[in-house]
Structure 1
């Protein structure tokens, strides 16, 4: 950071800059200088933060009255999300674990892939949150633990089956509970810490032969990308995922668009290779015919 700043000052054709003359314009100039060097957004921000901290130190030492960069805008970092392909989700659905905690981790992950629930929302999901519409469609209506924004998500048959399985397991081990108590009971019963569940989920992923390290938030991202790929409107996905604004959901649109572009590139490359192979084969066949004709006796 110090080296970049020195080079920036030298690039301006001066040896030093008086701290009292520094304005927000200098911040923008420095940002442009760093971007021209091809640095990543996170690296640019790291350098800008370092410069801003220098200004705050100057304020604390009463060298300047206020930080000129206090309201300056930093680089927008590209948000990369991790999600699973359908084939990997299918592997998880097929693999039943003997270990109790690992099996619960697997069920919760698959449930999140088909509902978009975050781990904290699954931990607090009660049977009373599961309702049935007039047409018989079951759905979850609940507030997100993180944002307190209400979300409504229709239940996929796989999610319904997981809830039914959990209810039967609990009824088998908790027959003493009343019907009312059962209605208020948690759907997912875990008797270990979340960190243990994270470890168990990692074991599940390895057992299924999935290369990526699994996390419960990855399941939520998987729901978002699968829903968008299935043609569900982004506004509906935002409501189902309990996003406070649609901008949070836009990231899935970017990922889906990028994947479509990559798939198209692969398809074009495959088609080009096929056409080249056909062309070469036809050229060889044509050459053979010419050779045969030349060898024919007069």
Structure 2
């Protein structure tokens, strides 16, 4: 960044017989927020072009003193490489564009939240508009539960809670990157999650799916692969053959999960590996599309005789629940699911009453 050594006070004649005062930097300074070179700073101070009396002349003299004081302060700030006075440039930065670029580095939910926020602000939003009141209005917008897909039913409460949590993460990152002056999250309430029943498939239902032909074979293979590994759709779509390597103990997947950005080395069974198909270069499930997990998935599940609402994410629940039902070590299952805390994994025990009964039955206090 260039250090400015000279700051000049300049005048410019404008309409209405007025003179506008501004600062001229030489050499130009680079704005740390926009990365653009700045040569001028408008002061918002105006003089009478032709003062007609003593009052107007006194006014001009007073304004010149204020402008000179600002010039001296700017000179000192630039010598100390303090560029906070450029914050007014930062306020004009396109916050919506900042959000959009963030989505490239994040997982799918960020893109969904971006679309909701785009609709809310009608495609225009600057950094200067982001404040407590504006964010609370967006929260209220989400709580109304409107859907972007045109369906009349409202968004599920936990979907809204997740979207709001993602937006608050965006605000936190914008504050940490000094785009926002204050941490607005300090003034925003969370939307609490509600306990919901976790949908999953029984082992017999998984076998039914495996035996049922699917219009999209890649969807069938990816779904069963998720049941056997617990991988999310986002991670399955990004899985590449070079991520699957052979070790002394068998095959493992070395991946970085999209949602949690966690690196993990996960064992993969021979049966699960078979669903990947013939080994080649690039993506494992290269023809798998997001659109397939909607109607095509529902149709396939119905053909298998399963008459419940099962989403692709339910295959991840299936893996976790079946593992817990088999009395697998919860810590190991937590690692396989790349959960950040064990409590998230333990919730699957509530869906397996038989496993709980077996555990309770192991505690005996009566003497033989």
Measured against the shorter chain, the TM-score band is: 0.5 to 0.7
- Structure 2 distance, partners of 1:248, 1:152, is 20
**Deviation, structure 1 residue 80:** 2.4
- The equivalences for 1:184-263 within 5 A come to 185-190=282-287, 193-256=289-352, 258=353, 260=355
Instruction: Say whether 1:134 aligns with 2:248.
Output: yes
Contact 1:141/1:150, CA 8 A, preserved across alignment? yes
- Going from structure 1 to structure 2, the CA distance change for 1:142 and 1:73 (only over 3 Å counts) comes to closer
Would you tell me which structure has more helix in proportion to its own residues? 1
- Structure 2 distance, partners of 1:73, 1:120, is 26
More contact order relative to length (CA 8 Å, sep ≥ 6): 1
Post-superposition Cα deviations, 1:188-247, rounded to whole Å, max 9, x if no partner, equal 0226x4123322111110111111133110000000011111222111111111112222
> What is the aligned partner in structure 1 of residue 210 from structure 2?
93
- Going from structure 1 to structure 2, the CA distance change for 1:155 and 1:210 (only over 3 Å counts) comes to same
| TM-score normalized by the length of structure 2 | 0.44
- Structure 2 distance, partners of 1:166, 1:217, is 25
Contact 1:153/1:241, CA 8 A, preserved across alignment? no
Would you tell me which structure has more strand in proportion to its own residues? 2
- Structure 2 distance, partners of 1:188, 1:72, is 40
- Structure 2 distance, partners of 1:214, 1:74, is 25
Long gaps (5+) in structure 1: 1-41, 47-68, 168-181, 265-298
Post-superposition Cα deviations, 1:59-84, rounded to whole Å, max 9, x if no partner, equal xxxxxxxxxx9688876622421100
Long gaps (5+) in structure 2: 1-156, 162-185, 360-368
Contact 1:142/1:150, CA 8 A, preserved across alignment? yes
Instruction: Say whether 1:155 aligns with 2:268.
Output: yes
- Going from structure 1 to structure 2, the CA distance change for 1:203 and 1:239 (only over 3 Å counts) comes to same
**Deviation, structure 1 residue 119:** 0.2
- Structure 2 distance, partners of 1:259, 1:200, is 33
- Going from structure 1 to structure 2, the CA distance change for 1:205 and 1:74 (only over 3 Å counts) comes to closer
- Going from structure 1 to structure 2, the CA distance change for 1:70 and 1:220 (only over 3 Å counts) comes to same
Contact 2:252/2:265, CA 8 A, preserved across alignment? yes
- Going from structure 1 to structure 2, the CA distance change for 1:204 and 1:231 (only over 3 Å counts) comes to same
- Structure 1 distance, partners of 2:205, 2:355, is 19
- Structure 2 distance, partners of 1:87, 1:249, is 23
Post-superposition Cα deviations, 1:105-145, rounded to whole Å, max 9, x if no partner, equal 1111110000000000000000111122213x112121111
- Going from structure 1 to structure 2, the CA distance change for 1:86 and 1:73 (only over 3 Å counts) comes to same
Q: Secondary structure at the match of 1:146?
A: coil
- The equivalences for 1:69-84 within 5 A come to 77-84=194-201
> What is the aligned partner in structure 2 of residue 271 from structure 1?
none
The size of the alignment, in residue pairs, is 179
**Deviation, structure 1 residue 261:** 6.2
> What is the aligned partner in structure 1 of residue 83 from structure 2?
none
Contact 1:79/1:251, CA 8 A, preserved across alignment? no
- Structure 2 distance, partners of 1:221, 1:107, is 17
Instruction: Say whether 1:109 aligns with 2:223.
Output: yes
CA RMSD of aligned residues (A): 3.2
